[in-house]
Amino acid sequence: VDFMELNTDEGRPNPDEWRIPFEGQSMPQTAISQDELRQEYLDAEMDDYDLVFFRPGEWVNYTKTFEEGHYQVILKAAVMSSGATTLTLERVIGNATLPDQVTAPVGVFIAPGGGSSYDWIPATDISGAPVTVSLNGKSTLRLTKVSGDTRLNYLMFVAMETSAAAPSVVITAPVDGAAFVPGADVSITADASDSDGQVARVEFFAETAEGRQSVGVDTQAPYEIIVPNVPEANYILTAEATDNDGMISRSSAIAVFVDATPPSVISVVGKQSLTAVLIQFSEVLRADTATNAANYAVSSASGAIAVTEAELSADGTTVTLITDLQVTGDEYTITLNNLSDLAGAGNVIPADTRVTFNAVGPLLQGEDGFVIWEAEAFDRNPDGLWIEDTDRQGASGGVSMVNPNGTGGNESNTQLQYDIIFTKTGTHIIWYRAGGDSGTDDSMWLHVDGARPPNRTTGNRASMTGFNGAIFEWNSRPQDGAGQMTFDIDEPGLHTIAVARREDGSYADKFIITTDPNFNPDNFGEFGPPSTPRQGEVVQSNNQVEISLDPVDTEGVENASVTLTGDAVITPEDALLVLQWQRKVGDEFIDLSGETGTSFMVSPLTLDWDGAVVRFNATSIGASAVSQEAVISVIPETAPPQALRAQGNAIRQRVSVSFSEPLNVSSAEKAGNYKITSAEGSLEVLTATLLGNPRFVLLETSEQVVGAKYTITLNNIADTAATSNILNGGQVKFYSLGALLPQTDDGLIVFEAESYDFNTDDLWVEDFSRGMPSGGVSMVLPNGAGGNETSSQLQYDVEFTKTGVHIVWYRASGDSGNDDSSWFWLDDARPANRVDGNQASMTGFSGKSDFVWVSDPQDGASPYTIEIDELGLYTIALARREDGSFFDKFVITDDFDFDPNDYGPMGPPETREGSPALPEVTLMTPLDGEQFESGTSIPLEVEIGASDRNIVRVQYFAGVELIAESTTKPFSAEWADAAAGEHDLSAMVIDDVNDLVATEHAVVTVVTVEPIQITELNLDGTGANLIMEWQGGMGPYTVQKAASLSAPVWEDVGVDVFSPLTLPVDGATGFFRVVAP
């Protein structure tokens, strides 16, 4: 249904928006019909609906397929107003898919008011005579409200036995393009005839920007009317002839100009070719005056330049002057003479009218690293197959560019090319505001200097996508590959950026190139920041930048990291602002590539940063400010690297060892630096490989014994400090693990991602570089590698010993929302409880550069659950959904309270043959809910259950803060000087292979205790009892009595009591005190 909705109350952006209903609305508005239900609705037990709230001037189109014939059209409707209702019926005779549709009249529906019952209203002419419409095949008819209040139920088309022919009509005067002075009397004449009858009437219409209206009717030939005192405007005239059979025809339209105002210049813009100028005028110009190059003179302070040609646009309002070469940045003056409009007397622009423009060159990257431009501001469109589009709503300048569906073209020739002077080198990010109706209309190639960028030559890495189903939205997303759409500029200067055809039907609206990886155009409103100036363009800016936070001198240890922070404010607040960090080299400050924003981290902090001077430059269009300088000092590292953990795999005969810092390659890869021993015998280290993450070494060994506890002794292992620090005599232990065990008694199944049973098409590969995987290895299906859900799987054979609902935890990592999900399969299919939508998608780790534990389905509530109906062996699969998703480890449990983080960042050890069970551990002291007085030491104690594990250390935490540690049995400790407040305490129990398990938490309160003060001591009304009140201290309280203050012994008269306390009177005098621990 096509429609015109004039109401803006519901937040529609344009009052004349057509075809696409506003999001969340169903317009035109409908309501359940009050008419008698037709039989088909009764049979289907369905409601019928009316069209309601249909306002004058609004219309609806209906497209149906008809058998060839003549039809009477009858409207079933209820008139709700007291006055008459009128609607017109027209036939769309042009392209019904475009907004500017051409229609021909069919008739009108006229019904008297005064009632609310549903009646049949036939289509007639204006006099009430019946009319018919000739239809054949797919036809579009338009119903337009003229007046009244109605509820419209349906239209009925009745085939008529008639062969009546429609009349013909043509306007004979005035001629198309005629001009008149305001106030003139204008005569309009027409010829009309009817081949099978007589012409009954001819009605004349005039249309302006305010609408279309009838200006007269003539019922006798010759058909003529005179319109008196015509006001100034541009008019479109048409005539409609009606014959004796009620058939109606409309003439072709003609344009008439009634004007006494000379044309004026609206804008003048120099084009980047430096040989063209565009002048836009207030109205249509007479072509012979507009295209006469002698009517224009162009000059600058350097002298005159020749105008060689003047071209008039199709709509007659814009002139393009072709000139001799202009000088970039110079201001030019154009003197205009003898330019006339289309009025009868020819209104002429005032003599020697002068306008100015600046000669501009290519797009220019600003000091802030930004280039922003509209898609239609191209330098070249080689084959012309990209065209301007003004129909798609929401373009930032009202215009977008599209290579329309079906027009052809290719990547090499169908391009929009933009010349840009780059002032920055290094990595750049391109953002694009684009739209596409479907997945076949949502991508464009990026070219740099005539080819796909060197870092994007393979697969679809150069494809800009992500706007499937969007009207327009901002994206920076390659079809293949992670992160943003980046490219490199190696040398400053002129480069050509091109948008090349990949899928026709893709709409491009606006582009942004930046060096700031933290930039997001959505922070600047729907259309992003405004376009940036071209070379030579005068910058009009009131921006003001002020440094609000300067970086300070900072020091750090070699190979660690330091972070400097700073900030700036800009006026106005919504202006574009970039903070670019710089390092001093010689006497100049050089931009640090990719280092933008309010913080700058150096990691690793190598010695070449010692004494480095840094600052940041805050820039905006037309304004900038630099921060104070800060000096970075590097303290040489003196501590040797430490071996943190080792994991052994008896099946693959390898051991991964993780270290506290990056290692020197030559020392790490010398197999002789590692000695592996156990009670079962020694292992030969065949090879040692430093992995992509230089904190991990992978050892290939001789055959390992499953379940044996091995000790690795490390010697001559060096770090990467400028003066190497050497590890000698270091030791780390591990259990050599075998096959995956059935589900444990406590419901756990734990396995590493790389310990798969099958890799179905080998597209999943081991990765040794990303983050800190628990075994030094993770699995990834690389970006651009292809594959699909069915064929690209890692499969694991798992035996369940418990039925019911289980929770799946996964330790994963992903760069962005394009790299953060995979499907979970159970026995060759998505789990039965997760077949709909994205419920089987494991996600939740977008933007995580290191691995995190997650249990989060893409659709549905967390955690990620599966259902096991029967005991036995199942095949679990990790199936491709988004390439670039990294997986490290999995935990399956039937315990909803289980949290893998309780076992440290790596989670619990694998449940494999050879891995002794971890002990059950309990925090015995303090108890949950206990209170302590500030200044006292809080005792800390754990109970460790029976286990074959050798516990060597217990750490105690308040939240995430380490508060105490014990390395000797019974591993108790104290927390001294605990701050007042509530504290969440737990303990981490660690064995000699660095596996660990956490206790439950206990929440304790530390209070600051005031001295005890007795605030009241009085007899009650009877005189037989004493009322005592006090404050301060911390219970339990004891009240004591004595005969004097100096009495050596005080008698307890109330134990474990609270204020106020009632005591019986005993004797004439007595002394009391309150005692607390």
Same domain, 617 and 657: no
8: alpha, beta or left, given left = phi > 0 and alpha = psi -120 to 50?
alpha
Question: Which long-range CB contacts under 8 A does 19-28 form with residues at least 24 apart?
Answer: 19/99, 20/393, 27/3, 28/3, 28/53, 28/54, 28/58, 28/60
Of 383, 500, 509, 513, whose CA–CA distance to 445 is shortest?
A: 500
Same domain, 509 and 374: yes
Strands 265-270 and 303-305: unpaired
Q: What is the CATH number of the domain that holds 969?
A: 2.60.40.10
Q: What is the CATH number of the domain that holds 327?
A: 2.60.40.1220
Of 266, 261, 286, whose CA–CA distance to 355 is shortest?
A: 266
367: helix, strand or coil: coil
Domain closes at, from 1007, 1023, 1044: 1007
Same domain, 755 and 892: yes
Any domain includes 765: yes
657, 688 in Cβ contact below 8 A?
no
**What's the CA gap between 396 and 393, in Å, rounded?**
9
Domain closes at, from 579, 601, 635: 635
Any domain includes 915: no
803: alpha, beta or left, given left = phi > 0 and alpha = psi -120 to 50?
beta
Q: How many CB atoms lie within 10 A of CB 154?
A: 15
**What's the CA gap between 282 and 355, in Å, rounded?**
14
**Residue 297 is encoded by which pair of tokens?**
């003179």
**What's the CA gap between 441 and 505, in Å, rounded?**
5
Any domain includes 1064: yes
Q: Which residue has the tokens 């479109």?
A: 236
* Predicted pLDDT of residue 372: 95
Strands 730-737 and 643-649: parallel
Q: What is the DSSP letter of 326?
A: P
Same domain, 347 and 368: no
Which parts of the chain have pLDDT scores under 70? Answer: 1-29, 94, 99-100, 114-115, 127, 162-164, 344-345
**What's the CA gap between 73 and 155, in Å, rounded?**
7
Same domain, 604 and 690: no
Residues in the chain: 1077
Any domain includes 743: no
Any domain includes 62: yes
Q: Which residue has the tokens 């069915």?
A: 790
**What's the CA gap between 1056 and 932, in Å, rounded?**
17
**Domains: count for the chain:** 9
**Residue 964 is encoded by which pair of tokens?**
């105490």
Q: What is the CATH number of the domain that holds 894?
A: 2.60.120.260
**What's the CA gap between 878 and 753, in Å, rounded?**
9
**What's the CA gap between 696 and 690, in Å, rounded?**
6
1006: helix, strand or coil: strand
Of 813, 879, 801, 890, whose CA–CA distance to 844 is shortest?
A: 813
Instruction: Determine the longest span between alpha carbons in the chain, in angstroms.
Output: 137
Same domain, 677 and 690: yes
**Residue 1012 is encoded by which pair of tokens?**
């005890």
Same domain, 717 and 765: no
Of 924, 584, 647, 683, whose CA–CA distance to 776 is shortest?
A: 647
Summarize pLDDT for 291-345 with one digit per residue, the tens. 999 999 999 998 999 999 999 987 788 999 999 999 888 899 999 999 998 876 6
Domain closes at, from 581, 611, 635: 635
Q: Which residue has the tokens 């440094």?
A: 547
Amino acid making up residue 958: A
User: How far from chain centre, in Å, is Cα 809?
Assistant: 26
Any domain includes 933: yes
Calculate the alpha carbon distances from 495 to 413, 481, 851 in Å. Answer: 18, 24, 39
Same domain, 44 and 143: yes
Same domain, 251 and 387: no
Q: What is the DSSP letter of 791?
A: T
Residues 6+ apart with CB under 8 A from 945: 919, 920, 921, 922
**What's the CA gap between 170 and 623, in Å, rounded?**
63
Summarize pLDDT for 931-944 with one digit per residue, the tens. 898 888 999 999 99
**What's the CA gap between 914 and 648, in Å, rounded?**
10
**Residue 458 is encoded by which pair of tokens?**
């393979």
**What's the CA gap between 71 and 109, in Å, rounded?**
15
The whole model's pTM is what? Answer: 0.60
Q: What is the DSSP letter of 692?
A: S
Residues 6+ apart with CB under 8 A from 774: 647, 752, 811, 851, 888, 889, 906, 907
**What's the CA gap between 867 and 834, in Å, rounded?**
10
668, 717 in Cβ contact below 8 A?
yes
Question: What is the full DSSP assignment across 155-203?
Answer: EEEEEE---PPPPEEEEEESPTTEEE-TT--EEEEEEEE-TTS-EEEEE
Same domain, 873 and 976: no
**What's the CA gap between 1058 and 841, in Å, rounded?**
58
* Predicted pLDDT of residue 8: 42
Same domain, 761 and 781: yes
Question: Which long-range CB contacts under 8 A does 967-974 form with residues at least 24 apart?
Answer: 970/941, 971/941, 971/942, 971/944, 972/925, 972/939, 972/940, 972/941, 972/942, 973/940, 974/937, 974/938, 974/939, 974/940
Domain that holds residue 1030: 1013-1075
Same domain, 346 and 410: no
Any domain includes 253: yes
Peptide bond into 1036 cis (omega under 30): yes
Any domain includes 530: no
